[in-house]
Structure 1
């Protein structure tokens, strides 16, 4: 077998080729070691490197060609003043650089594309994506954070450095499949995130076309079809008849687990009583407690619906909160992770529930968010008003229902409901039978009358406190009468 020879060309030899008459077809002159001089029928000469490369998209290595650059254009003539754009020596240097990239597993052609666009930052997908996120004035800070998460955690690692005009439909599909595969390794059959990422890519391309004037096609349209359809899962929670065992397991968590901390037990107990969203509890601040009325006021910027929210605190809830004061009273937050010097992470509740065994074996799966489902079902079975329940769950926006119930009378109803819910959970712990909808009409009426009496008692109590406060401020008796009359409407 003959040994392959390299450095077959010389400077004079290349000039001689350039002076030859135009070939009838493209001619290739080898310098060896994958470097070739191409003589085009139109008169140009340019350098190429032939190589084989297998990307993640390829089943086997593919034959590829790297265009190194021109020796001469078709319009140039070889004379005493001629200087090649890329000489033989320069072509060999570029060939050697490409070989080094291949040795590192990098496709020199793709590397060239990235390098070529390195100084045109404004055209990169990641730059345009950042501009798109910055202009999303119509969404909430939480949603902006989600979009940034989709980009930074999943999308940009695949196409972030691509010029937006160079992105192909296959690039989009491969990105979506890679994200889907990532979640498959975590045991998820379908991934909502993969579909959300595909939608975000499409929105960014539309933004580039409609707002930034790029003359491109939205190659992301319809590419979600390459993914498996996402099937939304029901909120993971135990059933009502398993609630009592869950409460007992939470109460004994510190005794049963070496990982447990009193804050975690208290947090789960308070979640069962207040059924707020997990983030709202994780960022619960001492300053949000109104000790005058035993309520927790969550400001609008912390709420999903961007509206202030009030949680009446039962005596049981207040007892749990006060247990935290010796631990976290010197911080801003009721629950505080001293290991990281910030509020607990999203995984806080779910990790604790998993350690209790709520993974599907031996107990059903359960998440921190599942307490909201348990409360919703339980309160409906306890025959509370649907409007009061939904407002307490912070499901209602500024609708007519919300305005109708945003009064002190409504708050009193919610105080009654939250106190009864806390007593109901105590009954579950104690193993008392709960009849729910098995009440007779007469029994149900008695329950409703008792609730109405409690509501009236709360209103009268609030009225008396208000009167004393107004009198202390020197408000006239006539004005006080008008105000208290409005309170009892």
Structure 2
């Protein structure tokens, strides 16, 4: 059996790797070692044919010996047919339901960062209603909390809190801790969300000035290419800074972005204009030795991409304040210019990855639909170049 000394050595090894890992003990007991440095005991078991996990506390607050004792108690309860996910016939508070939902539904499947975001988002509701029994919380209780969030004009946050609370209450229903979801009655009761419009430039003359500023950048040639590519392709900033050379098909002039990098979690194709191909071939000489098109300056081997602030800083260095243009603004700029030029709205929205190509196949067959996107992307690159060179 593993000793306390051996356990500390394993924890140090995992933390040194920079990745999340686990130290298996025995009989279902594991120590979850997170990148933040937090270490927590988990007991894995099966209940009603399903794999489950139960949190046993944080290490070293709960020692290896104590964790084994707790694990043995849980194993006996499971063998007796008792549920250890929640106390039998004991009503649970909202905080208890939330923690159980996190342990069973979120932490095993999602990143530690995402779990942390959910905890922060749930704080206002747990602060006011966390000690209340989940089954006794009314719609008015939740609305009272949401109104406090709205009073700060955090309307988007208020809607996300309601959505998260609904997920937790549906879990409470499934685990017999509630009979209804009180958030359901709040439909239409919240303040409308603010439409989020990123600063962008849409006046053709000013777009030309922007393209000249990018062309004439005296700083890093890599950042000059990044801004130019963003203008020509108008993908989301995250998709561009995480772009990898393996995603580009130079023979067919296509950029295939995998679903895990897309906001909508579906693959996306970006037809590449001739200008984009030329930029990429030049960039390859600078960064082609690594995985990413735009590696971090501190990543000598190109194994890490640039930060999310790098692009906006480059725009600031060219004199564009965050109130007039940001990286995400290239998308709004393209949408406005293409619509004003008379391009089909569906084709534009598909290229922006706002709608799925499957939804428009009644209007276009696959070949015609892709041909229109290829044509539009080349026209747009030519149009930006014309504006840059002084055309109206």
TM, length-normalised to structure 2: 0.61
Alignment of 1:395-410 (within 5 A): 395-399=354-358, 401-402=360-361, 405=364, 407-410=366-369
Deviations 1:132-151 (A, max 9, x none): 44799xxxx8xx99964541
Question: In structure 1, how many angstroms separate the alpha carbons of the residues matched to 2:146 and 2:94?
Answer: 24
CA distance in 2, matches of 1:215, 1:125: 13
Matched with 1:126 is 99
Contact 1:123–1:164 (CA<8 Å) still a contact in 2? no
1:251 is the counterpart of 2:227? no
Structure 1 residues 129 and 383: CA distance shift in structure 2, 3 A: same
2:305 matched residue in structure 1: 343
- Equivalent in the alignment of 1:60: none
Trace 1:425-440 onto structure 2 (pairs within 5 A).
425-433=384-392
Report what 2:267 is aligned to: 308
Confirm or deny: 8 A CA contact 2:217 2:318 kept in the other structure: yes
Which residue number in structure 2 is paired with residue 420 of structure 1? 379
Where in structure 2 are there 5+ consecutive unaligned residues?
Answer: 1-89
> 1:403 offset after TM fit, Å?
6.8
| Alignment partner of 1:154 is 2:118 | no
Deviation at 1:196, TM superposition (A): 0.6
> Is residue 297 of structure 1 aligned with residue 256 of structure 2?
yes
What is the number of residues matched between the two proteins? 295
Residue 349 of structure 1: how far off its partner (Å):
2.9
Cα deviation, residue 125, structure 1: 2.5
CA gap 1:392/1:231 in 2 versus in 1, 3 angstroms: closer
CA apart distance, 1:392: 2.3
Query: Could you tell which deviates more after superposition, 279-288 or 307-316?
Result: 307-316
Deviations 1:97-117 (A, max 9, x none): xxxxxxxxxxxxxxxxxxxx9
8 A contact 2:268–2:353 mirrored in 1: yes
Q: How big is the shift at 1:321? A: 1.6
Displacement of 1:336: 1.7
- Describe the SS at the equivalent of 1:333: coil
What is the Cα deviation at residue 314 of structure 1? 1.6
**Structure 1 residues 440-479: aligned runs within 5 Å:** none
2:95 and 2:130 in contact (8 A); partners too: no
Q: Which residue pairs with 2:243 in the alignment?
A: 284
1:252 and 1:281 map into 2 onto residues whose CA distance is: 21
Q: Note if 1:380 corresponds to 2:339.
A: yes
With CA pairs under 8 Å and 6+ residues apart, which has the higher RCO, 1 or 2?
A: 2
In structure 2, C-alpha distance between the alignment counterparts of 1:334 and 1:292, rounded to whole Å? 18
Q: Deviations over 1:261-305 (max 9, x none)?
A: 433322121011011122221221111111212221222333334
1:353 aligns with 2:315: yes
Alignment of 1:238 onto 2:201 = yes
**Residue 94 of structure 2 contacts residue 133 of structure 2 at CA under 8 Å; is this kept in 1?**
no
From 226, 230, 234, the equivalent of 1:267 is 226
**Equivalent residue for 2:78?**
none
Q: Over aligned residue pairs, what C-alpha RMSD do you find?
A: 4.1
Q: 2:158 matched to 1:211?
A: no
CA deviation after TM superposition for structure 1 residue 328, in Å: 2.1
Q: Which runs of 5+ in 1 are unaligned?
A: 1-116, 256-260, 434-489
Going from structure 1 to structure 2, the CA distance change for 1:203 and 1:310 (only over 3 Å counts) comes to closer
Give deviations 1:295-343, integer Å, cap 9, x for gaps.
Answer: 2122233333444322221221122222322332122111121436522
Return closer, same or farther for 1:431/1:195 CA change in 2, 3 Å cut-off: same
Distance in 2, Cα, partners of 1:326 & 1:407 = 35
Give the Å deviation of 1:154: 3.2
Kept in 2: contact 1:289–1:297 (CA 8 A): yes
Separation (CA, whole Å) in 2 of partners of 1:123 and 1:332:
44
Residue in structure 2 matched with residue 24 of structure 1 by the alignment? none
| TM-score calculated relative to the size of structure 1 | 0.50
Query: What SS class does the counterpart of residue 133 from structure 2 fall into?
Result: helix
Aligned partners of 2:310 and 2:178: how far apart in 1?
47
Q: SS of the counterpart of 1:205?
A: helix
Whole-Å Cα distance in 1 between the matches of residues 94 and 163 of structure 2?
23
Decide whether the 8 Å contact of 2:199 with 2:325 is kept in 1. Answer: yes
Q: Tell whether the 8 Å contact from 1:237 to 1:371 is kept in structure 2 after alignment.
A: yes
Alignment of 1:82-231 (within 5 A): 123=96, 125-133=98-106, 148=115, 150-156=117-123, 159=126, 162=130, 165=133, 176=146, 189-208=153-172, 210-215=173-178, 229-231=192-194
